[in-house]
Chain A
């Protein structure tokens, strides 16, 4: 019997030196992140431990491989990585040893063997212009590969903002006619795990939910798991108390910035961006962009690249993303006029004093 292919997840983890308490600790944290009751950690761990390795086929289209890097590049082996290793990854162009027709044959064999049961993970958008000629593998367009692979899938998981919403390839003027997966696959559940890249634990969290419960998590109106995308970055931001107190950094090197005040006036898109960065964080839990002194770019929202300057405050509406902000912001709307004045004043002051590292310099 092929041990690698048949073991329960807990046995796979035990072989890699992961104790049950370590696993329970991970599940308690994951359950909490997924808005399951924190005390459901043990039940979650029980169900997950007894799960079998699902077959996973990962297709890469118009993408930069950042999503794969996000999942596989950590400074030390993590449980996310180990769980990822525990799935039966039958096809992944970046990670697989096979190449050429042998790789394509492996994908077709895995599809046939697990027809109706495998998970199809897709990163990258699909080019539709000029017959989809702008991205193809083995002479087959991404569109044809996607539609053929989706037929036998239990569900399709769009990994990253490109697969979820079109991402950078779809940015104006969208030269390849890029579209997201959900625009093409209509007869299967499509889960969007947006982000550029998405957070590793969000990817494994969805896989873990599927493994443990055999179902997909509840989704928001954009097809994202509510447990990770149910609240804005702003809602969970540790700088939120400063926003409520009206304490804002005006430039990246003023007193407010040094005191860690809210970055709203420096263009932070946290109030309209739904993601879990503020709680899960990045780089093995070290920090997230706002903690490093830079506002959120809004990378997990549709068309974030075309939503105007990253350094323009949300309450200066000119683009779709910012229009959303108008409805979402309470205190922010009140300070909006002040921000506009502040931006102009800062620009004039910077010109006069030849200052560097200001908001306006970054926009040049």
Chain B
């Protein structure tokens, strides 16, 4: 199927609207809260009227960190650390490769990475069973 990105239309990037610096300041405030209280937070970028230029500006200002994780969970997801530890750029695609979510997450460990306690319990049971089969 032809995707929107495949159609050769040159889009105006909209220019900077002034929203991006506000988002950057919000990220700083959320990061400060994380440092002081441990409280995590998230900004839904798709919920903001950001132009392409705004988005590019934000990405450039936040930069790249050391961690870049690709997940295959009901479509691809990517969790990339920015140049500021604790600030993560998270994108979610659906099974067709269309982006369905884009967040800036402010946390020590991105929420999606931590396994669920029930899954850990189930994993422990499976591992014990496998070990018992060794003898």
Contact = CB atoms under 8 A, between A and B. Distances in A.
Are A and B part of the same complex? yes
A199 to B, nearest CB: 12
A76 B95 contact: yes
Contact of B103 (A32, A238, A285, A291): A32
Contacts of B41: 37-39
A22 interface: yes
A241 B49 contact: yes
Contacts of B115: 20-21
A174 interface: no
Interface string A15-41: 000111110111011001000011101
Given A237-B49, A260-B12, A285-B96, A24 B4 contact: no
A279 B96 contact: no
Interface string B60-104: 000000000001011001000000000000001011101111010
B47 A279 contact: yes
A261 interface: yes
Contacts, number: 107
A42 interface: yes
Interface size class on chain B is 35 or more
Given A236-B47, A241-B49, A260 B9 contact: yes
A22 B94 CA distance: 10
B10 interface: yes
Interface residues of A, number: 42
B57 to A, nearest CB: 13
B5 to A, nearest CB: 10
B3 A286 contact: yes
B71 A21 contact: yes
Contacts of B4: 286-287, 291
Interface string A229-264: 000000111101110110100000000001111000
A212 B12 CA distance: 42
A335 B49 CA distance: 21
A79 B11 CA distance: 32
A242 B14 contact: yes
B96 A24 contact: no
B11 A39 contact: no
A25 B11 CA distance: 30
A291 B7 CA distance: 12
A241 B101 contact: no
A69 interface: no
Nearest to A79: B74
A38 B116 contact: no
A28 B99 contact: no
Contact of A24 (B47, B95, B111, B118): B111
A339 B93 CA distance: 39
Interface in A257-305: 258-261, 279, 281, 284-287, 291
A76 B96 contact: yes
Contact of B101 (A28, A75, A242, A258): A28
Given A29-B101, A32-B101, A24 B92 contact: no
A78 interface: yes
A275 to B, nearest CB: 14
Interface of B: 1, 3-4, 9-12, 14-15, 17, 40-44, 46-47, 49, 51, 54, 71, 73-74, 77, 92, 94-96, 98-101, 103, 105, 111-112, 115-116, 118-119
Shortest 9 CB-CB distances between A and B: which pairs?
A38-B42, A22-B74, A259-B12, A285-B98, A241-B14, A240-B49, A29-B101, A22-B73, A241-B51
23 contacts: A21-B115, A22-B74, A25-B73, A25-B77, A25-B101, A32-B101, A32-B103, A38-B42, A38-B43, A38-B44, A39-B40, A77-B95, A236-B49, A238-B51, A241-B51, A242-B12, A242-B14, A247-B12, A279-B46, A285-B100, A286-B96, A286-B98, A287-B4
